[in-house]
Structure 1
């Protein structure tokens, strides 16, 4: 039996102590009802100021208790909470108040039962735990930039003569990260998040090592190994989110933990770009992969020692795996992505490109049918996705597709067209780390003051403006003008859109599917980056081809080593068209977010709010 407890009136956990004290007088009792049996109800007294000043008993935390923590304790001590109304494992679906996004894991469960919450840890243990978990996000984005920062060094090493082949090095990695996040999250629910987390580090370690040894094997094998390398972060990221949600109780600690996790993204991307460029320029580029492999091995060992073991109930029903949904979904996503990223290399005239695209869409149609009508434990709860969730995912697809184009072509613009070294380019993009941390920690503050839909609109504007600045940047303009401003703005788009989308999905999904919100957003983020690169690559290819024909150039596209004024002008035109496509995606995101705000306000007026 699966039941849930809801409140008919509740307070906001972010309210000040004065507000909570006043509200406690206004609401001397919080009524609880069982959604499966409305006749069962019980009133729990609202917390007093004295209780809110005491440590919560959920994990022995020494910080002041959150409103939810005190109320949850009172529920479990109440007659309704002590009744045997639930199966032992069903307690995870019980909450006195709606869970924050911090409880989102990658599977179908919500907040864990009281008995499964990790025992209290010392502050040093908590700090160490947070470091090893955030390293999953840090190194995942750092590995993405391993082939972005030294892009021209790799082009010379592999004798690559076009941008499309270069984009595969990043697109292959993002493709597998985005494709396998949801299945990896379900595996964590089935076999334990710590166990899958450790397997993810082992996989990341092995394939980073193998990728570094592909220097003798050519472009195709190197791209394939990059794809397999990306499966490591796919195992790591959703289970890292789940570990944070299951370790820290609702309140300031969890919010801080997720802010740190968000800040690890831009700092990891910056660090990855810097060290990859440093090693490629001063030593040899494979060393960045070998060193990453060693780091992954060390982090895996530390994670085994630091992360507490999960205590699973013997009688708990283990979630089942949606094998058919996984096969159809993964097949469809891979075929579509491969077709989009292969087209810039050989052109859309090759028969197998549209064939793969059609097969991919047919496979995705089969996936939707399986999720709707065949399986009882779908990877994606399509039936539970409301209009708000569709708006959020559409914004993420448009915005992050724009971001992938912005990031990849920014390095090409600085290194290939302006002639900057890989190390100098990494230094020029380093402000991403500073502004990224700022936006990561200010997001929680901002979300408490303006509607989530408005935060999403701001993020989409940042995506659009950041790409617009690069689309109109003169080739010989100083770095401190449009380029610097674009680099400063883009982290705001990244760190505002992700939590906003997660909150919107968390609100739109049913209670028993709350955990899938963050994983679904992560999937859309990474997959959109890869698909955006493929589409922009086609635009870039055909634009350069047309511009070369107009200038009477032979052998287009010209080898990357050719830097005559006519060739550079043709490449700049192709790059600008790719950036204008990114601007269009950002503008589409702004339009979707604007429509969402209009629909939300119209709905609120209809409900009389």
Structure 2
């Protein structure tokens, strides 16, 4: 039975653990990021194999298999983080792994039904990662005190993203040689095992006394379900419109209706959070100018990454004719470079500061997108494609730890799950919306991909959008650096003035 630990002593939880228990503890929590990206990488790798098996040939509908998953991951993270704050991180971790396992199993079983059930299962399976990601980060944030050790743990968590995507793609490529549904059935088994391990290994950190004394009705009031419902609906409608349009056309009136309703619901959500909700879903006290700039950088960078990763696979498999396994072999440097980036970030973020780390990450996103956007079809893999796979992980594994650490160190300990939710929401929602917008660019400028030249034009147009987004993120990071420099100079002058005044006194 896992130990119960007083929340007031959570900064020493890691010190109370034996090395083996801490290893398992960190492993189960990092598996949240690992399995989330497995769920993305496995479908990306065998996207066209699944399409053939389910008779899905429309590229706009195929992109839904990716965007639908990221949509629910991004949309439900905020409320899942609040559930963790109120009911406990461990409970939510167990529920999240079990939910993810259930719908991964259904996704495999959809081979007997059709594409509609598969898309439905993919969308609902995304709620599982939405539950485990913020609560894993919340538990890590509540366990480790700020310092080098915490920096390295969060960097390790970020490193699991590219590694998980590559491992998921590798297994998907292997299972596709036998029968592609096994990709999802084996993932479901692994997730069920993780749910059991979470019950046995994770410590039960009690919620704060004020939550313990609340009735179930009062807890649901404290969850801000009204704000969550409006916010989630707004994000889903806005995202659905952008991802539905490439496959079914912007001439459909309902797409405009959903897009406008979604846009109108965003200000309603902020009004509820600011004026009505007794305990807002968003920690507005943590949304300083610096944090907002960093979240803007993350949104631009990860939207460009969503476009990059989708069209990188399309470029290799459709234009270069590579098999799923060869594609994964060519993307393996992503995992190796990602681990190196995470370790480096954990070591330098305390000395450089999050501003410089974020700027470097945006430069990596920009460079990676430029390389693949300009790569000729017949060019050797070792020229631009290999270099691109080496550089792009530095954008992922520098931006994610920087944003997560800032939010974790800014919000109060009892809101760790909610604070960590913000970064994960921005990351995953940006991936989904980036793929949707790029799909429209692809369809409109690629003329439906009737010829290979049209396909290339559409892919490159989408990737040029990614270049623009990452360049915008770099500008925001540069603005953050300038702001931090000016603030640092001001603080230095204030300290000098205080020193002079004390000496004169």
Specify if TM > 0.5: yes
Cα distance in 2, alignment partners of residues 310 and 511 from structure 1: 12
Tell me how far 1:251 sits from its aligned partner. Answer: 4.3
Give the counterpart of 1:219 among 106, 115, 131.
Answer: 115
Alpha-carbon contact 1:537-1:578 (below 8 Å) kept? yes
Query: Counterpart of 1:200?
Result: 96
Q: Would you say 1:296 and 2:203 are equivalent positions? A: no
My pick for the range that moved more, 147-156 or 232-241, is 147-156
Alpha-carbon contact 2:286-2:407 (below 8 Å) kept? no
In structure 2, do the counterparts of structure 1 residues 236 and 532 end up closer, same or farther at CA, with 3 Å as the change threshold?
A: same
Give the counterpart of 2:202 among 286, 292, 307.
Answer: 307
Alpha-carbon contact 1:116-1:311 (below 8 Å) kept? no
Give the counterpart of 1:144 among 37, 40, 43.
Answer: 40
Q: Would you say 1:171 and 2:67 are equivalent positions? A: yes
Cα distance in 1, alignment partners of residues 158 and 449 from structure 2: 39
Return the structure number with greater relative CO, CA threshold 8 A, min gap 6.
Answer: 2
In structure 2, do the counterparts of structure 1 residues 142 and 602 end up closer, same or farther at CA, with 3 Å as the change threshold?
A: same
Q: Would you say 1:598 and 2:482 are equivalent positions? A: yes
My pick for the range that moved more, 426-435 or 258-267, is 258-267
Cα distance in 1, alignment partners of residues 201 and 285 from structure 2: 39
Alpha-carbon contact 1:385-1:508 (below 8 Å) kept? no
Structure 1 residue runs of 5 or longer lacking an equivalent are 1-91, 93-111, 546-555, 559-566
In structure 2, do the counterparts of structure 1 residues 306 and 401 end up closer, same or farther at CA, with 3 Å as the change threshold?
A: same
Cα distance in 2, alignment partners of residues 138 and 569 from structure 1: 36
- Higher percent of residues as helix: 2
Q: Would you say 1:573 and 2:454 are equivalent positions? A: no
My pick for the range that moved more, 122-131 or 352-361, is 122-131
In structure 2, do the counterparts of structure 1 residues 289 and 401 end up closer, same or farther at CA, with 3 Å as the change threshold?
A: same
Deviations 1:388-410 (A, max 9, x none): 12211111111000000000101
Cα distance in 2, alignment partners of residues 448 and 507 from structure 1: 13
Give the counterpart of 1:419 among 321, 330, 334.
Answer: 321
Tell me how far 1:121 sits from its aligned partner. Answer: 2.2
Cα distance in 1, alignment partners of residues 208 and 469 from structure 2: 47
Alpha-carbon contact 1:392-1:505 (below 8 Å) kept? no
SS in 2 for 1:147: helix
In structure 2, do the counterparts of structure 1 residues 507 and 311 end up closer, same or farther at CA, with 3 Å as the change threshold?
A: closer
In structure 2, do the counterparts of structure 1 residues 258 and 386 end up closer, same or farther at CA, with 3 Å as the change threshold?
A: closer
Give the counterpart of 2:79 among 169, 183, 186.
Answer: 183
Query: Counterpart of 1:52?
Result: none
Query: Counterpart of 1:492?
Result: 394
Cα distance in 2, alignment partners of residues 438 and 288 from structure 1: 28
In structure 2, do the counterparts of structure 1 residues 269 and 169 end up closer, same or farther at CA, with 3 Å as the change threshold?
A: same
Cα distance in 1, alignment partners of residues 492 and 372 from structure 2: 44
Query: Counterpart of 2:346?
Result: 444
Deviations 1:295-348 (A, max 9, x none): 111111111111122345666556621011011000000000100100101121
Q: Would you say 1:544 and 2:446 are equivalent positions? A: yes
Q: Would you say 1:124 and 2:26 are equivalent positions? A: no
Deviations 1:147-176 (A, max 9, x none): 100122123223333321111001011010
Alpha-carbon contact 1:389-1:504 (below 8 Å) kept? yes
Q: Would you say 1:428 and 2:341 are equivalent positions? A: no
Aligned residue pairs total 481
**In the TM superposition, what are the counterparts of 1:161-560 in structure 2 within 5 Å?**
161-280=57-176, 282-312=177-207, 316=212, 320-382=222-284, 384-505=286-407, 516-545=418-447, 556-558=448-450
Query: Counterpart of 2:466?
Result: 582
RMSD: 2.1
Deviations 1:106-154 (A, max 9, x none): xxxxxx4127964822211111222222111111100111210012212
Alpha-carbon contact 2:338-2:394 (below 8 Å) kept? yes
Bigger Cα Rg: 1
Alpha-carbon contact 1:389-1:509 (below 8 Å) kept? no
Cα distance in 2, alignment partners of residues 370 and 114 from structure 1: 34
Cα distance in 2, alignment partners of residues 256 and 508 from structure 1: 18
